Each structure stands twice: as structure tokens, then as C-alpha cells.
């Protein structure tokens, strides 16, 4: 019997195929005592397993490239954490086997993170994956992972570790569905980068029987279980229509009546540039420079290395716009040499610009590197600070940019509600705003962006979030300055129209979403976008806002 389920669509497209479940295994080793004379040997086994897993994660990252590489390199550093290794050694010294010591040491660290109010829930999931890989190697058993199949399938799992998602083969994995995760989780971001249709936060996903035929609509978040021939035909026709629209939409982003909306790409480094150019990006709206710093959490990269990396990106967009976000460290992106390890609530503590103002030499070096990287290039460089709370923050950042001799526009990210509410004040110090809707939603609704249980509140269609976007955009318009959107909200084609109607002056997203947004935006006039935006803001829930905007745009 055909049934319909709904999760959160995070990667566009339609996939129809049989369910295959991610492999699982019990990886809790038995607790047994070893003689004291075996301790040194067991410690050696543990260290060998840790190094092997770290090397494997780095190798997977090198193969994947882009944002996936940064995520996997961060996991490799997690595996080699000196405090964890020291704890493993201590447990072995008092009689634990290598595998049990690893299991218990990681469990203790996991409990510490979970006890911090789950603000590091995403990092906990990554920690679990690292632990499982080390324990599996020590036990000599295969690591649970992507199923072995010669036929294409839809992958279903409770959640997907970055190491699994990064190397999915799109020719075999038609799409994937997870029970956990949210629209801004690692798996969602990597799915969009791969161009694989995906739905996350689907209640009861793991209960779908192996071999069941399902249809996944990554745009709407709908899952059709045992779809009939009519439904399959309808979905396939819709997918074909979208594909044709994508092929016909080229050139700069604009509404049907010619209102220009530059479409930019979110990137993590030079490895992401090729995909952005292939998708027709008009520039970069968010260059996440923290991935460069994650290569070594013990120290900042040299100025020379930074200049080299930044220049590769700037050279790729001659006479285009490149917006660079300075280092956003803290919370789920901790760096040993910068961020405190004992913050009770890291997402609400010293992160982003706050961290840089406490370590001015790191900010000074980065700004100097950007200035040198841009020398002699016709690129339009813009530099922005993360986690700006008020005018005082904005002034401190602008002063630092001037002191570094940076010839670029200085801007502020709007990720904290206070920055949106007082946007005109912030704009007295900077030249543009960029709305980071992922964190803005997190702080507006007190809803951790990595926790599937609160994904409803992470929905960028929430009217309260749209209100904040409108407030910031109106302030920028009043000041004669720009206000772009660089959060994942911009990757939703219909929401991109609403954001345009709210006054966003540019939209930035993962490269895979650019064709969808370009094609959809070109179907409607600015007036239609404005009416859809007003209808969405008048709603009382995300679902109602989405339906109201759809009704306006479809002429109902």
C-alpha cells in the first residue's frame, strides 16, 4: 500500500529505488583484565590503531576534497587528541585491553560533551564514528558502512558519518534518508555537494524494511513508500521538467522582469572552486576560511600559506565578487590554540569575532594575508566578521581591517538576533551585511543546528526568521548598502524567491543548488517575490509560510 512520510528535504532531486540499510554492528568490546606485562604491548596496539584510523580519514578527505576534506581532517585530529590517547594509556596501565580502553575513554569524553547541553551534538556523532573505527580495527572486524550492492539503491540510516557520506558513489546511491540530522548537519551539507537527493530527520526511517521501494523527493522532504506507477510517473515527469528548466536557465541571476540578484557560491577552499564555476557562480558569497585552520588545530597556518590559498580563490573570479569570512573558531569548530576547552556553553561563549578580538595577532595575520593575496588582482574583495553582536563589534572589526591596510569592503555577518534588530547601527561601521541563516535560526529559536529533535525550529521558513531577514534588509536599503544571504536558506529555490522579495541583494549557496535557484528565480517578477514574502511573513508556522508563498507564486 502506498503511504507518504515527511522529513526535512536537504538536497534537491528525486530518487526512486529499493531501500538498503547502512551496516551496523555491536562494537562494545568485552571487559577483561590483562596481566601487567602486556600493558606496553596493548598501548602500542592502541596507538597503531589510532594512527591507522587517522590516516584513513585523511586519505578519504583527500579523495573527497572540498568541504568534505575539512570535515574528515577534523575527525582525524579528534582521533589523535593527546588527552584521549593519554586516557587510553592510563586505562591500559591498570588492566584494560586496548579496545576496551579506547571504548571507555571515548565514552567518558562523550559524556562530558553531552553534559554540556548537547551544544556539541554534531561533534559527539563524529566522536562516536572515530571510536567505532578504532575499536573495529583493534577487534579485527569490518567497519559498519555503506552496503555492498551492484544495483542502485536508496541508502537508509539512523545517521551518516561524514566519512561515509563523503565517498558515496552517486551512480549506486540514488539518494539517502536518515532518521537523525538536520538541514545544516554535516550529512546534509555533503549531500548537497554531491548532488544526491536527501531527506533527514525522518521519524522511523530505520524501520523501513530492506528492499522496500521508496521515492525520495529531496526538495519537499516527502518519502513515498511503495509508490504506484502513477506516482512514479508523476515524480519522474516533475524531475524531467526540473532538468529541462535547469538546462535552459543560464547567465546572471535575475527575476523575470530583470531585477538582478547575483548568485554566489559558498566554498571551503580552492578545491570547491571548479564546481562553483561549472555551476555558473557569479562569485563567492561565503569563503569559510576556518577549514584552512583545521589542518592543524595546534597552531595557525603561516601568513605565506594563507596568502597562497586565498590567492588561488581570488584568481578564479577575475572581476567577480569574493566575500571572505575571517576565522570562525569556537563551538563546533574548536581550535586548541584559540578556543577554551572548559566553556560550559560553547555556542554562547567565545567564538567567531570574539575569539579573534582576544587573539588580535591571529586576526592581524589573516587580514594581512588577504591584503597581499589581492594585490594586483581586479577581483572585488569583501571581508566580513562572524558573530557580530552590535556596533561595538562592527567597529572593532573595521578598525582592525584598516590597521592591516586592507583595501576591501568590510562587512558583518548577521547571525545573532541583536545584529538584525540593530542593523542600522551596525551599518554605521561596515559597508555590507550577510545573513547567516543557519546560526541566526539557532540563536533565534534556541535550537541546536545539529539536533534532529529540534529540526522544526531550524526550518528557514519560520516566520520569525523571515521577520529578522526583512528587518536587516530594510536597514541596509535605508543606508544604501547591500544585504546578502549566505546561509543554507538560499539553496531552497522557492525560499530564494521569498528572500529576494524580503530585500536580499544577493544569494549564496552550495554550487549544486545554483542551477535550481537560477531557474526558479527567472520564472517570477520582483513583485511576485515581494507578495510571496509578505504572505510567508503573515503565516504562523514554517509549513504555513511555505504553503502561502507557493500559493502566491503558483497564482492560486
Per annotation, catalytic residue among 401, 486, 497, 529: 486
Q: Across the strands, what pairs with 216?
A: 15, 223
Cell of 401: 581591517
* Alpha carbons 149 and 144: distance in angstroms, whole number: 15
Cell of 26: 555491536
* Alpha carbons 429 and 410: distance in angstroms, whole number: 9
| DSSP, residue by residue, 287-303 | EETHHHHTT-TTSPPPH
Distance in Å from the first CA to the final CA of the chain: 31
CA distances (Å), 530 to each of 81, 375, 414, 503, 527, in order? 51, 40, 22, 8, 5
CA distances (Å), 485 to each of 71, 102, 343, in order? 23, 43, 30
> H-helix or E-strand containing 323?
strand 321-325
Tally of CA atoms within 13 A in the half-sphere of 464 that contains its CB? 13
186 a catalytic residue:
yes
Per annotation, catalytic residue among 186, 401, 483, 529: 186
CA distances (Å), 166 to each of 60, 103, 186, 193, 264, in order? 8, 25, 10, 9, 23
The three-state secondary structure class of 36 is: helix
Handedness of CA 119, 123, 129, 132 (dihedral sign): negative
* Alpha carbons 248 and 412: distance in angstroms, whole number: 35
In this structure, what DSSP letter does residue 97 have?
-
* Alpha carbons 446 and 462: distance in angstroms, whole number: 13
The three-state secondary structure class of 3 is: strand
**How long, in residues, is the chain?**
556
CA 237 to chain CA centroid, Å, is 30
Q: Which of 343, 352, 359 is nearest to 389 (CA)?
A: 352
Query: By the 8 A CB rule, do 478 and 470 touch?
Result: no
Q: Which residues contact 375 (CB under 8 A, 6 or more apart)?
A: none
* Alpha carbons 243 and 69: distance in angstroms, whole number: 29
CA 329 to chain CA centroid, Å, is 15
497 a catalytic residue:
no
Handedness of CA 200, 204, 207, 213 (dihedral sign): negative
Catalytic residues, which ones?
186, 486
Amino acid at each position: 500500500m502506498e503511504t507518504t512520510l515527511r522529513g526535512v528535504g536537504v538536497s534537491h532531486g528525486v530518487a526512486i529505488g529499493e531501500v538498503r540499510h547502512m551496516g551496523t554492528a555491536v562494537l562494545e568490546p568485552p571487559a577483561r583484565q590483562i596481566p601487567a606485562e602486556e600493558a606496553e604491548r596493548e598501548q602500542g596496539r592502541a596507538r597503531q590503531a589510532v594512527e591507522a584510523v587517522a590516516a584513513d580519514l585523511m586519505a578519504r578527505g583527500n579523495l573527497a576534497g572540498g568541504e568534505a576534506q575539512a570535515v574528515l581532517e577534523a575527525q582525524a585530529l579528534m582521533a589523535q587528541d593527546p588527552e584521549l590517547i593519554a586516557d587510553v594509556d592510563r586505562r591500559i596501565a591498570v588492566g584494560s585491553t586496548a579496545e576496551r580502553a579506547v571504548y571507555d575513554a571515548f565514552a567518558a569524553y562523550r559524556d562530558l560533551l553531552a553534559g554540556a547541553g548537547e551544544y556539541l551534538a554534531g561533534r559527539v556523532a563524529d566522536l562516536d564514528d572515530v571510536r567505532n573505527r578504532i575499536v573495529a580495527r583493534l577487534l579485527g572486524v569490518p567497519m559498519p558502512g555503506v552496503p555492498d550492492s551492484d544495483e542502485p539503491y536508496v541508502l537508509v540510516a539512523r545517521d551518516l558519518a561524514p566519512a561515509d557520506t563523503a565517498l558515496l558513489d552517486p551512480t549506486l546511491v540514488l539518494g539517502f534518508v536518515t532518521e537523525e540530522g538536520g538541514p545544516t548537519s554535516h550529512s546534509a551539507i555533503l549531500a548537497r555537494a554531491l548532488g544526491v537527493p536527501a531527506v533527514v530527520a525522518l521519524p522511523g526511517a530505520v524501520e523501513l524494511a530492506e528492499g522496500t521501494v521508496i521515492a525520495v523527493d529531496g526538495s519537499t522532504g516527502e518519502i513515498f513508500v511503495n509508490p504506484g506507477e502513477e506516482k512514479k510517473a508523476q515524480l519522474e515527469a516533475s524531475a524531467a521538467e526540473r532538468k529541462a528548466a535547469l538546462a535552459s536557465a543560464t547567465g546572471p541571476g535575475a527575476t523575470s522582469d530583470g531585477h538582478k540578484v547575483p548568485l554566489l557560491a559558498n566554498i571551503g577552499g580552492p578545491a570547491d572552486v571548479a564546481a562553483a564555476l561549472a555551476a555558473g557562480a557569479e562569485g563567492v558569497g561565503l569563503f569559510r576560511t576556518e577549514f584552512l585552520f583545521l589542518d592543524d588545530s595546534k597552531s595557525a597556518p603561516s601568513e605565506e600559506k594563507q596568502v597562497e590559498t586565498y590567492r588561488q580563490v581570488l584568481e578564479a573570479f577575475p572581476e567577480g565578487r569574493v566575500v571572505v569570512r575571517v576565522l570562525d573558531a569556537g563551538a563546533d569548530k574548536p581550535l586548541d590554540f584559540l578556543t577554551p576547552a572548559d566553556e560550559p556553553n560553547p555556542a554562547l561563549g567565545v567564538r567567531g569575532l570574539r575569539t579573534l578580538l582576544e587573539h588580535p595577532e591571529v586576526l592581524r595575520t589573516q587580514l594581512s594575508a588577504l591584503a597581499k593575496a589581492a594585490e594586483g588582482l581586479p577581483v572585488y574583495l569583501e571581508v566580513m566578521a562572524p558573530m557580530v553582536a552590535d556596533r561595538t563589534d562592527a567597529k572593532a572589526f573595521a578598525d582592525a581591517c584598516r590597521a592591516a591596510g586592507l583595501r576591501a569592503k568590510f562587512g558583518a555577518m548577521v547571525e545573532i538576533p541583536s545584529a538584525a534588530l540593530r542593523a542600522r547601527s551596525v551599518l554605521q561601521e561596515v559597508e555590507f551585511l550577510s545573513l547567516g541563516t543557519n546560526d541566526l535560526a539557532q540563536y533565534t529559536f534556541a535550537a541546536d543546528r545539529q539536533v534532529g529533535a529540534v529540526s522544526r525550529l531550524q526550518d528557514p521558513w519560520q516566520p520569525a526568521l523571515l521577520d529578522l531577514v526583512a528587518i536587516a534588509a530594510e536597514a541596509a536599503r535605508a543606508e544604501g548598502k547591500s544585504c546578502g544571504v549566505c546561509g543554507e536558506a538560499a539553496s531552497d529555490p522557492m525560499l530564494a524567491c521569498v528572500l529576494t522579495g524580503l530585500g536580499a541583494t544577493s544569494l549564496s549557496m552550495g554550487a549544486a543548488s545554483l542551477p535550481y535557484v537560477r531557474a526558479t528565480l527567472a520564472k517570477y517578477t520582483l513583485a511576485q517575490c515581494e507578495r510571496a514574502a509578505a504572505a510567508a511573513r503573515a503565516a504562523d508556522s514554517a509549513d504555513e509560510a511555505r504553503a502561502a508563498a507557493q500559493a502566491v507564486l503558483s497564482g492560486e
